Amino acid sequence: MQFSKGHGTENDFVLLPDPDGALELTPTRVTALCDRRRGLGADGVLRVVRWAALGSDDRAPEPEPGVEWFMDYRNADGSVAEMCGNGVRVFARYLAHSGLLPAPPHRDGFDLGTRGGVRHVGFDGDPSSGEVSVDMGPAAPGETSTASVGGRAFPGVSVDLGNPHLVCVTDAAIDGLDLTYPPGHDPALFPHGVNVEFVSPVDGRGEVIMRVHERGVGETRSCGTGTVAAVVAALRHAGRATGTVAVHTRGGRLRVTVDAATTTLHGPAVLVAHGELSRSWWDAAG
């Protein structure tokens, strides 16, 4: 069984090519793959499957005409997730690397299927090394709520990007927060869990700092959808509805553009390794 390993600003993934939807990707196998001691180690798994071959999946939308590939994303704990902005960029880089896109793949961009809807992806320059841009769709602040860390409550706002986020814009020392455990949140507002971002206000250079705790994973070095949610909330905190903001995560720098119609995430995507999984290991992990 083939695999690849990649990351987007150190938010890392195992990619499993499965164009015809033949793999039985169980939660226990996902957990084993993502384990950094007994597996390959990752924040999540990206199954590379043709949308038409996805099979029975009541959480996936029906295939759309002209969209061949579907990003079947799983969190490190084996749970299914709707969307991952860093994952989409790494997924797109893999498709280009593997020759699975029409040539040239960078001219007009292309569409990918996700459980959060279709996402339009483009390469900023060389498809093998340049930044990847993803149209993440419209996003707007929703209900206000709070997240709690170490007994301290942080006011926040919900932002839906196909998956749920609670963004807390704060002047607190973000580096000093203990995100070893999931921040407390309102289960009535987020019955299926939530990604929680802590973000500094937009500074004079148009930049923010962010840390994130992802549901089903823990604190990650970066989160693509979380980055977009963070910018939407930080712009609102600054009294603005649109703009371009640079986001410094622990894994690197990303940019987000918010306009009246949509949001766009720009950032790197790196393929680190390609290899083969042992069939005996796969069977034992099932």
Q: With 0-12 CB in 10 A as exposed, 13-18 as middle and 19+ as buried, what is 22? A: exposed
Closest CA to 11 of 246, 212, 168, 174: 212
Catalytic sites, residue numbers: 84, 223
Q: Phi and psi at residue 50, in whole multiples of 5°? A: -70, 135
Buried b (16+ CB within 10 A) or exposed e, 261-270: eebbbbbbbb
Per DSSP, helices labelled H in 57-102 are 85-97
